[in-house]
Structure formats: C-alpha cells, structure tokens
Structure 1
C-alpha cells in the first residue's frame, strides 16, 4: 500500500495518508494540525479522501479534523468512548497555549472488533486503551494479500520506538496500556510495521526485542 507520513504541529504528531497500491481513494489517520498542508498533500496525491480515522482524541491528533472533513466531505470515524471529546475539543485541552481547535460531531463510531473496507483497504479495528480510554489501533492490509503479508499498524500513541504512550493524562493507565501492547504482540506478526503517532516507524519485533518498557511482557 502507499503510505504518506506528515509530521504536523508543535507536538510533532504523525498524520498518515494511506491508499491501496491501485486506486484513487485514500484514508487519512489522525490529522493533528496544518489542515492547508494536509489538503494540499491529498490533492497532489491525486486521491479522493474516503474517510478520516482517529485513533484517539487528544488535541494533537485532531486539530485539523473539522477543516479536512469540511473540505473533502469525508466522514470521521471516532472511538466511541471519546466522541464527547471530539465534540468539545477545547474543553479537553490540558495545556495552555494550544488551539483554538474546532470541534466536530463524529460520523461513525468504532469501539474495536469492526472490519472496515475503505479506499480499497481491509481495516481491522482493535481496541487498545491505556493511553486514553477509547484508543483504537487500525491494522491495514489489501484484498488479495496472502497470510504471509503482515498488516500495517496505525497505533496512535500506544507504542513508540523504544518507548510507550504516556499514561498520566485523564483516563490513562500504565497497566492497561501494557495489556494492550501485549495483545498487539500476540495478535500480529513481528514484521508488522508500526506507524506511531510520534517519532519514527518501527516494527513489533524490534520493540519486542529491545523496548525497555516491555521487559515485563517479553521475559
């Protein structure tokens, strides 16, 4: 599949534009800020945006949701447990100096367990709380991929290179986060590429082998 990664905003959040190898439709994941830049990238890619997918609703992951949705007409898929945050964004920004961000009423709610078919992609929604109460991970493959093809994981702020998501924000739990990561390690193969909400790409196997925060899961 084709994946464009765009690091946006002062918190350096990763937004991803994903399309199948063939086809002219795409999904965008966690458009955090810089809506004009993201819209320009969508246009230059020659794709029609079919959906906006949110892993969770911390402010740095949704600042451009409303303007991108308005400009493209793409529906917004939001974790069910966090729809109230998207609908009242500024009430949930925990730090001064960020925003203002525009709120948005989610079009489609997800809670984990859904099998989505968007933009020529097969998308499994997996519930991965811990960083936030309703956090989900999107595992993407293309129709026709064989069983030996590992999915691309768009994991928001669950797992990073040599680190894990913070759990000191409201609704966070380190114990629950580790349970979510353990589930990802069990469910998906080691060569699954992790597309995180911050920092660079990694794989499940690399983090299983060397992430110091996962020692209790791998020993």
Structure 2
C-alpha cells in the first residue's frame, strides 16, 4: 500500500495518508495540525479522501480534523469513548499556548472489533486503551490480501520505537497499556510495521526484542 507520513505541529505528531497500490481513494489517520499542508498532499497524491480516522482524541492528533473534513467532505471516525473530546476540543487541551482548535461532531463511532473497507483497504479496528480510555489501533491490509500478509499498524500513541505511550494523562493506565500492546503482539506477526503517532517507524518484532518497557511481555 501507499503510505505518506507527515510530521506536523509543535508536538511533532505523525499523520498518515494511506491508500491501496492502485485506486484513487485514500484515508487519513490522525491529522494533528497543518491542515493546508495536508490538503495539499492529498491533492498532490491525486486521491479522493474517503475517511478521516482517529486513534484517539488528544489535541495533537486532531487539530486539523475539522478543516480537512470540511474541505473534503470525508466522514470522521472517532473512538466512541472519546467523542465528547472531539466535540469540545479546547475544553480538553491541558497546556496553554496550543490551539485554538475547532471542535467537530464525529460521523462514525468505533470501539474495536469493527472491520472497515475504506481507501481500497481492509481495516481491523483494535481496542487498545491505556494511553487514553478509548484508544484504538487500525490494522490495514489491501483488499484481497489474506491474513498471512502482515498488516500496517497505525498505533497512535500506544507503542513507539524503544518506548510506549505515556500514562500520566487523564484516563492513562500503564497496566492497561501493556495489555493492549500484548494484544497487538499476540494477534499480529512480528514483521507488522508499526506507524506510531510520534517518532519513526518500527516493527512489532523489533519492539518485542529490544523495547525496555516490554520486558515483562517478552518474559
């Protein structure tokens, strides 16, 4: 599949534009900021945006949701437990100096367990709380690929290179987060590429073997 990664905003959040190898439809995951830049990238890619997917609703992951949705008409998929945050964004920004961001009412709610077909992709929605209460991970394969093909995992702020998501924000829980990571490692092969919300790409296998936060899982 085609994946464009765009690191946006002062918190350096990763937004992903994803489409099948062929076809003219795409999805965007976690458009955190810099809406004009993201809209220009969508146009440059020559695709129609079919959906906007959110892994969770911390402010650095949704600052461009409203302008991108309004410009493209793409529906916004939001974790069910966090829809009130998207609808009242500035009430949940914990630090001064960020925003203002525009609120948005989600079009589709997800809670894990859904199977979506968007942008020429089969997408499994996996419930992965711990960093935030409703956090989900999107596991994407091209339509027609079987389960022997490792998916691309869009993991938001669950798992990073040599690190894991922080749990000191409201709704965070390290025990729950580690169980979410265990779910991903048990369900998907080691060569699944992890596309995280911050820092660079990695794989489940690399993190299983080297991530110091996951020694209990490896044991």
In the TM superposition, 1:172-191 aligns within 5 A as 172-191=172-191
In structure 2, what is the Cα distance between the partners aligned to 1:39 and 1:22? 20
In the TM superposition, 1:89-168 aligns within 5 A as 89-168=89-168
In the TM superposition, 1:72-91 aligns within 5 A as 72-91=72-91
User: What does residue 207 of structure 2 align with?
Assistant: 207
User: What does residue 30 of structure 1 align with?
Assistant: 30
Instruction: Give the length in aligned residue pairs.
Output: 219
TM-score by length of 1: 0.99
User: What does residue 51 of structure 2 align with?
Assistant: 51
Deviation at 1:218, TM superposition (A): 0.3
Q: What SS is found at the alignment partner of 1:49?
A: strand
- Per-residue deviation, residues 93-151 of structure 1 (Å, max 9, x unmatched): 01111000000000000000000001110000000000000000000001221333100
User: What does residue 217 of structure 1 align with?
Assistant: 217
List alignment gaps of at least 5 residues for structure 2: none
CA RMSD of aligned residues (A): 0.5
Q: What SS is found at the alignment partner of 1:213?
A: helix
In structure 2, what is the Cα distance between the partners aligned to 1:113 and 1:174? 22
In structure 2, what is the Cα distance between the partners aligned to 1:173 and 1:153? 21
TM-score by length of 2: 0.99
User: What does residue 3 of structure 2 align with?
Assistant: 3
Deviation at 1:203, TM superposition (A): 0.1
- Per-residue deviation, residues 45-74 of structure 1 (Å, max 9, x unmatched): 000000000000000000000000000000
In structure 2, what is the Cα distance between the partners aligned to 1:33 and 1:173? 26
- Per-residue deviation, residues 164-218 of structure 1 (Å, max 9, x unmatched): 0000000000010000001100000000000000000000000000000000110
Q: What SS is found at the alignment partner of 2:170?
A: coil
List alignment gaps of at least 5 residues for structure 1: none
- Per-residue deviation, residues 9-30 of structure 1 (Å, max 9, x unmatched): 0000000000000100000000
Q: What SS is found at the alignment partner of 1:149?
A: coil
In structure 2, what is the Cα distance between the partners aligned to 1:116 and 1:144? 13
Deviation at 1:86, TM superposition (A): 0.1
